């Protein structure tokens, strides 16, 4: 039972005893005491005046006196007009700290029995992962860990978009221009090599469009009739018809990309419980489209294309199958959704996809409802804003994206440069330094992206992200390393952290209150699907510790009982920081 619940229950008893009436719902209003007043919790007395028939000050005084007499944890109280400020005893906060320190997995909620699947990453196999993918990947993985900490059974899945016209574009450009080049022969990472041919296709396409326009064809018509585009479309039809040569080329180039993706995932510390492939799910989507036609939910046009008319629902007509019989994203999303709910009896399915696809998921949910699937309302689109750079937006087809691998390398280099300037790692071996630079670089990247509310478009600045003094990952990592240094020195001196029930400083009470709120913060963040709440909680806690360390003596405290209790407090701070940052996928260094 939380402190608020304990006091609320006792307040109900006190009010009934004094005023011979039950406090109705909403009458007992507790809130945190404002910083400019003395107290921990404040009762707003005004709603209770209906029962007391007295002034706010008299009512607050009567309730305060009775409450202090009946609850040992109330150390003192004071009345400011219609507000009763309650000061909680050091003994209570010591007990709270003691309970937290005994917990082997503080912050982990008990099982809810709820199964949630979260799909994220979902790359195309025609290009390497880029900065936009990184926000998706980090957000999806962190939300999964956050939901797991909130007690849910979570499945992390990836859907690889390994088929479609965009894949055929890379394949066709490779056939036309590569002269048999491979990752092994070129020394280029597989996903990068395939991405180069996606850009190459776009260049070929632009040249052909320009030639057609110069010959007198209108631009819009030229864009539809460029020969290389027609070839790519024909290749897609061949793929869907199982053409052996096209399938072999597709399998070879996708294999290059998967190997490249896996390297990037490993470096980011990302894992999946299951990977789906669109090439294996789109046929089940086609089967659903066929059922929808039979039920009259969908309609077939004269050219053979299949549509769902959503105009009566305020939307438009949605294409489900092209005239040539090939499927679209919506087709496979219908099939994949049904397959997953059938397989795992999910309570909820979360799709982590950028906000440019808001309409797509609105349509998906509505179409599934029209098809009669009872779980359609269990689908949730976790929509997030795009990542922009000081230079502006990125464009894959023009090759102007910030590559994920290059960005990770740059973060490593920046972390190395910054750490060496601080000059505190000379005693580390080369291997230890390398691990630290990787940890700090990735910590900076992950924290900078995850501290922003998912719904907001964000501007990514690599140099700002690695500042050791601001609201950054490295600041929290440095704080953790400082705590670990204190604890090592304490151990070397024979000091043992212990809850000794010594009186607490106000700053210590403030920190214990913050730590005790951690499970509630996890629950709140999980309900909002927002790792940003945990990121900013970790920053606030790190900031509180640093102020405490500046103001209060720990190792030099002469009173052994006080010193040992302070060591217990900072040890718990380190544990909570590690748990919070772990939810963000960020490791914390023992030394820095």
DSSP character string of 342-365: HHH--SEEEEEEEGGGHHHHHHHH
Residue 360's pLDDT is 96
Sign (positive or negative) of CA dihedral 241, 242, 245, 249: positive
DSSP tag of 387? E
**Could you write out the DSSP letters of every residue in 451-480?**
TS-TTS-EE--HHHHT-SSSSSHHHHHHHH
In whole angstroms, give the CA distance from residue 168 to residue 178: 15
Task: Examine residue 385 and state whether it is found in any structural domain, yes or no.
Answer: no
The domain that contains 61 carries what CATH number?
A: 3.30.1360.70
Domain boundary among 248, 268, 288: 268
Same structural domain, 76 and 184:
no
Domain boundary among 88, 119, 150: 88
Listed residue (463, 573, 415, 454) closest to 508, CA to CA: 573
Task: Examine residue 279 and state whether it is found in any structural domain, yes or no.
Answer: no
Q: Are strands 74-80 and 83-88 parallel, antiparallel or unpaired?
A: antiparallel
Task: Examine residue 550 and state whether it is found in any structural domain, yes or no.
Answer: yes
Structure tokens at 590: 């023992």
Q: Which of the residues in the chain have pLDDT under 50?
A: 394-399
**Could you write out the DSSP letters of every residue in 43-106?**
EE-GGGHHHH-S-HHHHHHHHHHHHHHH-TTEEEEEEETTEEEEEEPHHHHHHHHHHHHH-TTT
Structure tokens at 305: 């294309």
- How many domains are contained in the chain? 3
In whole angstroms, give the CA distance from residue 61 to residue 367: 61
Q: Are strands 274-277 and 153-160 parallel, antiparallel or unpaired?
A: parallel
Same structural domain, 441 and 553:
yes
N- to C-terminal Cα separation, the chain: 39
Same structural domain, 428 and 571:
yes
The answer to pTM > 0.85 is: yes
Q: 445 is in which domain, residue-wise?
A: 404-583
Task: Examine residue 488 and state whether it is found in any structural domain, yes or no.
Answer: yes
Task: Examine residue 301 and state whether it is found in any structural domain, yes or no.
Answer: no
Same structural domain, 63 and 173:
no
320: part of which helix (H) or strand (E)? Answer: strand 317-321
Same structural domain, 38 and 170:
no
Determine contact, residues 473/465, Cβ cutoff 8 Å: yes
Instruction: Report the 10 Å Cβ neighbour count for 429.
Output: 9
Q: Which residues contact 588 (CB under 8 A, 6 or more apart)?
A: 439, 443, 476, 477, 480, 481, 577, 578, 581
Q: Could you tell me the CA-to-CA distances from 217 to 202, 205, 225, 229 in Å, in that order?
A: 19, 15, 10, 16
122-154 as b/e: b if 16+ CB within 10 A: bbbbbbbbbbbbbbbbbbbbbbbbbbbbbbbbb
Domain boundary among 88, 111, 138: 88
Residue 62's pLDDT is 96
Task: Examine residue 340 and state whether it is found in any structural domain, yes or no.
Answer: no
Q: How many residues does the chain have?
A: 592
Residue 391's pLDDT is 64
The domain that contains 461 carries what CATH number?
A: 1.10.730.10
Same structural domain, 431 and 516:
yes
Task: Examine residue 315 and state whether it is found in any structural domain, yes or no.
Answer: no
Same structural domain, 84 and 178:
no
Alpha-carbon 68 to chain mean position:
43
Same structural domain, 59 and 181:
no
Q: Which residue has 């209003």 as its token pair? A: 29
Residue 473's pLDDT is 96
Residue 386's pLDDT is 87
277: part of which helix (H) or strand (E)? Answer: strand 274-277
520-532 as b/e: b if 16+ CB within 10 A: ebbbebbeebbbb
Q: Which residues contact 570 (CB under 8 A, 6 or more apart)?
A: 483, 486, 487, 497, 545, 549, 554
DSSP tag of 377? G
Same structural domain, 414 and 520:
yes
In whole angstroms, give the CA distance from residue 371 to residue 378: 15
- Greatest CA separation for the chain: 95
Same structural domain, 82 and 171:
no
Q: Are strands 348-354 and 379-384 parallel, antiparallel or unpaired?
A: parallel
Residue 460's pLDDT is 83
Determine contact, residues 364/330, Cβ cutoff 8 Å: yes
Task: Examine residue 221 and state whether it is found in any structural domain, yes or no.
Answer: yes
Listed residue (422, 391, 554) closest to 488, CA to CA: 554
Phi, psi of 427 (to 5 degrees): -80, -10
Q: Which SS3 state, helix, strand or coil, does residue 179 take?
A: coil
Same structural domain, 418 and 506:
yes
Structure tokens at 205: 């396409």
Same structural domain, 197 and 63:
no
Structure tokens at 211: 């030639």
């Amino acid at each position: 039972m939380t402190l608020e619940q304990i006091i609320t229950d006792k307040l109900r008893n006190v009010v009934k005893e004094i005023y011979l009436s039950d406090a109705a719902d909403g009458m007992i209003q507790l809130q945190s005491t404002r910083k400019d007043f003395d107290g921990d919790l404040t009762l707003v007395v005004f709603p209770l005046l209906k029962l007391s028939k007295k002034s706010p000050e008299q009512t607050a005084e009567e309730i305060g006196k009775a409450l202090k007499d009946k609850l040992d944890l109330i150390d003192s109280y004071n009345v400011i007009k219609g507000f009763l400020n309650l000061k909680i005893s050091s003994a209570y906060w010591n007990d709270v700290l003691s309970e937290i320190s005994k917990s082997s997995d503080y912050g982990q909620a008990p099982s809810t029995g709820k199964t949630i699947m979260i799909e994220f990453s979902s790359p195309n196999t025609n290009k390497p992962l880029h900065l936009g993918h990184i926000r998706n990947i980090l957000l999806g993985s962190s939300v999964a860990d956050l939901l797991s900490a909130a007690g849910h059974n979570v499945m992390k899945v990836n859907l690889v978009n390994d088929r479609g016209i965009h894949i055929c574009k890379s394949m066709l450009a490779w056939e036309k221009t590569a002269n048999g080049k491979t990752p092994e022969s070129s020394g280029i990472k597989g996903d990068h090599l395939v991405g180069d041919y996606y850009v190459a296709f776009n260049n070929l396409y632009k040249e052909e469009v320009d030639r057609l326009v110069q010959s007198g064809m209108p631009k819009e018509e030229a864009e539809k009739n460029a020969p290389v585009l027609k070839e790519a479309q024909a290749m897609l039809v061949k793929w869907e018809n199982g053409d052996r040569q096209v399938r072999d080329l597709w399998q070879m180039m996708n294999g290059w990309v998967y190997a490249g993706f896996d390297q990037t995932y490993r470096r980011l510390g990302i894992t999946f419980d299951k990977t789906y492939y669109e090439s294996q799910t789109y046929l089940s989507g086609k089967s659903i489209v066929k059922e929808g036609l039979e039920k009259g939910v969908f309609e077939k046009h004269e050219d053979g294309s299949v549509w769902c008319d959503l105009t009566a629902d305020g939307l438009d007509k949605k294409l489900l199958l092209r005239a040539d019989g090939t499927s679209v994203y919506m087709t496979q999303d219908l099939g994949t959704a049904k397959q997953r709910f059938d397989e795992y009896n999910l309570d909820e399915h979360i799709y982590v996809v950028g906000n440019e696809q808001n309409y797509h998921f609105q349509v998906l949910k509505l179409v599934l409802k029209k098809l009669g699937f009872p779980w359609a309302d269990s689908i949730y689109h976790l929509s997030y804003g795009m990542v922009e750079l000081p230079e502006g937006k990125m464009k894959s087809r023009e090759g102007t994206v910030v590559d994920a691998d290059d960005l990770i390398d740059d973060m490593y280099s920046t972390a190395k440069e910054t750490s060496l300037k601080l000059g505190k790692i000379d005693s580390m071996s080369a291997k230890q330094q390398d691990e630290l630079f990787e940890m700090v670089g990735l910590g900076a990247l992950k924290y900078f992206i995850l501290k922003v509310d998912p719904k907001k478009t964000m501007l990514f600045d690599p140099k700002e992200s690695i500042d050791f003094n601001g609201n950054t990952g490295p600041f929290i990592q440095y704080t953790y390393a400082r705590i670990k240094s204190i604890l090592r020195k304490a151990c070397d001196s024979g000091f043992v952290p212990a809850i000794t029930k010594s009186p607490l400083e106000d700053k210590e009470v403030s920190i214990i209150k913050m730590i005790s709120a951690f499970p509630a913060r996890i629950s709140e963040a999980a309900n909002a699907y927002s790792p940003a709440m945990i990121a900013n909680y970790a920053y606030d806690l790190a900031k509180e510790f640093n102020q405490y360390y500046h103001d209060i003596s720990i190792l030099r405290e002469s009173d052994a009982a006080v010193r040992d209790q302070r060591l217990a407090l900072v040890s718990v701070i380190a544990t909570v920081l590690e748990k919070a940052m772990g939810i963000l996928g960020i490791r914390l260094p023992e030394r820095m």
